[in-house]
Structure 1
């Protein structure tokens, strides 16, 4: 359980970094939408300064969250002796971590598919997904991880 708690704390830190970066990126994107003429939005990304035209751009900012301690615990069969509500909380949180990692992969794949025909607006629309749904999910998941970590530490670590 200590390993799971430590893994969750690492994931929490990764999420905090992502949330902070995505809030900065959100402001940049809002500024781009407000200040960029439509004709510039429709230009090809790579013909028009590429990603350097996106202020504060450092990549998608979605870290892969770890699940190895949880998976080891499943293999080691440590959960049957635990209280059902704790097992359910751990399982639910790790399901949400898997969903987050899946979202991350889908967004990464969209960026990998950028080519010489990709328009600036296409990239901005992908970033809009991060700005909206992903930030909300990151905040929800961070809260969920924080609550679970507190519960595990209270029950098993302290």
Structure 2
């Protein structure tokens, strides 16, 4: 055996315990809890722009919709408040900007299967109904008196209880 072979044997005998480190393992658990809940499918504000009201004209209406993403298998109740300019005995009013005493009454309806339901109380929705777009219609009856010209608006809040 030559000198080089002897050195290689010595190095090979020493290297294994240097090159093989011990391994220690630890286990950890990952958990998640999914709770019932809903959220609106987009963060855009729902805007309803009604056609112009004209003296002697007819009732005007406009449709709108929103969609919720809810935990599968749940049901919910959806309500709409009376808005920023609520009528004294319930109901909705559009107010002339900067003149809150100049009001135009309006109504909000839930539309489903060709039926219109006044949305003045919470409406129950099952899982199937929650998975679809929820349609509503805003109606402004023909005003009983002449209206002051200008921009009228209201802000309503949709609440989902589950």
TM-score (norm 1): 0.27
Higher strand proportion (structure 1 or 2) = 2
Higher helix proportion (structure 1 or 2) = 1
Larger relative contact order (C-alpha < 8 A, sep ≥ 6)? 1
Structure number, greater radius of gyration: 2
